């Protein structure tokens, strides 16, 4: 999965650090990230020394994010006035702006994980520039990863929305679906955000009923994963069909859904999501819930 970066080690302990020239600089603007790009999916996150020539303000616009293998990564947030200079690719040879979908396949994968995690923090900071209670400009906390209102004291933490993803099984069959109106066109599992007042298991039952009109039983936790593309923490479950297998499709969300045997489940080329791992765990019988 996207967060499985071993032997590299991700450390998100908050530190009030200042950047040095050799530290990584994730410069993000309008949901695009500045990278040093090589062949096809090969890319590198630039160090401050590589972006300072085109953006001398980089040090003063830096916020510490996290470290990987004890090397610090910083978010660099240019202002809107600074954007046109940075957007001129001739001013920054070798550097180019990449949208978040690029990180689905970028190599090396641990740098892709760093970059996509940075974009989640960037989106959160952009959407919390002013206090939601009193509208004062938010300031940086110096003690934790948070924004604080200097006027009323309101504290905002990074936006992480929990969502469940469910592999519904019926003997040798797995329920898979395709989304309507989403860029991902492959087979997906049923998924949905946790609503107010719900346990994860209740979300599983509600989402399965809403999207495909089925009852499930024997809900068992599989694994979870951060999914920064949608500011989500995905919590994966297996569940067994309970009773009637007739699918009643929620047509504004899904374009199709059906039961597939193990042999009919296609192999996923990219194994970055917990959904892919669950499909393959079912297909190849690599997960025994009763063993854990």
Summarize as ranges the residues that interact with Zn ion (CB under 5 A). 131, 133-134, 136, 149, 151-152, 154
Closest approach of Cβ 149 to Zn ion, in Å?
3
Give whichever of 21 and 137 is closer to Zn ion, judged by the CB atom: 137
Closest approach of Cβ 256 to Zn ion, in Å?
47
Give whichever of 141 and 154 is closer to Zn ion, judged by the CB atom: 154
Closest approach of Cβ 162 to Zn ion, in Å?
26
Closest approach of Cβ 148 to Zn ion, in Å?
9
Closest approach of Cβ 147 to Zn ion, in Å?
10
Q: Which residues pair with 216 in a beta bridge?
A: 241
Distance CA 240, CA 97 (A): 44
Give whichever of 154 and 250 is closer to Zn ion, judged by the CB atom: 154
Closest approach of Cβ 144 to Zn ion, in Å?
17
Closest approach of Cβ 137 to Zn ion, in Å?
9
In this structure, what token pair is assigned to residue 253?
């969300």
- Kindly give the pairing relationship between strand 24-29 and strand 71-76: parallel
Give whichever of 141 and 169 is closer to Zn ion, judged by the CB atom: 141
Q: Report CA-CA distances (Å) from 77 to 63, 72, 128.
A: 8, 16, 14
Give whichever of 130 and 193 is closer to Zn ion, judged by the CB atom: 130
Closest approach of Cβ 124 to Zn ion, in Å?
17
Produce one character per residue of 251-279: b if its CB has 16 or more CB atoms within 10 Å, e if not: eebbeebebbeeeebeebeeebbbbbbbb
Give whichever of 131 and 281 is closer to Zn ion, judged by the CB atom: 131
Give whichever of 99 and 153 is closer to Zn ion, judged by the CB atom: 153
Give whichever of 91 and 137 is closer to Zn ion, judged by the CB atom: 137
């Amino acid at each position: 999965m996207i967060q499985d970066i071993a032997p590299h080690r991700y450390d998100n302990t908050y530190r009030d650090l200042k950047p040095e020239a050799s530290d990584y600089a994730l410069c993000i603007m309008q949901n695009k990230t500045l990278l040093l790009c090589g062949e096809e999916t090969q890319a590198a996150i630039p160090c401050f020394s590589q972006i300072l020539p085109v953006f001398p303000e980089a040090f003063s616009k830096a916020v510490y994010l996290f470290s990987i293998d004890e090397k610090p990564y910083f978010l660099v947030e240019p202002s809107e006035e600074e954007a046109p200079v940075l957007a001129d690719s001739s001013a920054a040879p070798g550097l180019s702006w990449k949208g978040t979908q690029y990180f689905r396949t970028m190599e090396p994968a641990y740098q892709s994980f760093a970059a996509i995690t940075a974009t989640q923090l960037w989106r959160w900071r952009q959407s919390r520039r002013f206090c939601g209670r009193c509208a004062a400009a938010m300031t940086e906390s110096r003690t934790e990863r948070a924004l604080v209102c200097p006027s009323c004291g309101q504290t905002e933490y990074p936006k992480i929305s929990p969502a469940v993803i469910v592999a519904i099984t019926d003997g040798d069959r797995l329920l898979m679906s395709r989304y309507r109106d989403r860029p991902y066109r492959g087979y997906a599992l049923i998924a949905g955000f946790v609503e107010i007042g719900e346990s994860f298991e209740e979300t599983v039952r509600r989402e399965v009923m809403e999207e495909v009109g089925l009852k499930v039983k024997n809900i068992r936790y599989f694994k979870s994963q951060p999914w920064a593309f949608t500011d989500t923490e995905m919590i994966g479950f297996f569940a067994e069909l309970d009773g009637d297998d007739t699918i009643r499709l929620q047509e504004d969300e899904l374009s199709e859904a059906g039961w597939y045997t193990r042999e009919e489940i296609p192999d996923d080329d990219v194994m970055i999501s917990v959904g892919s791992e669950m499909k393959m765990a079912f297909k190849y019988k690599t997960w025994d819930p009763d063993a854990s």
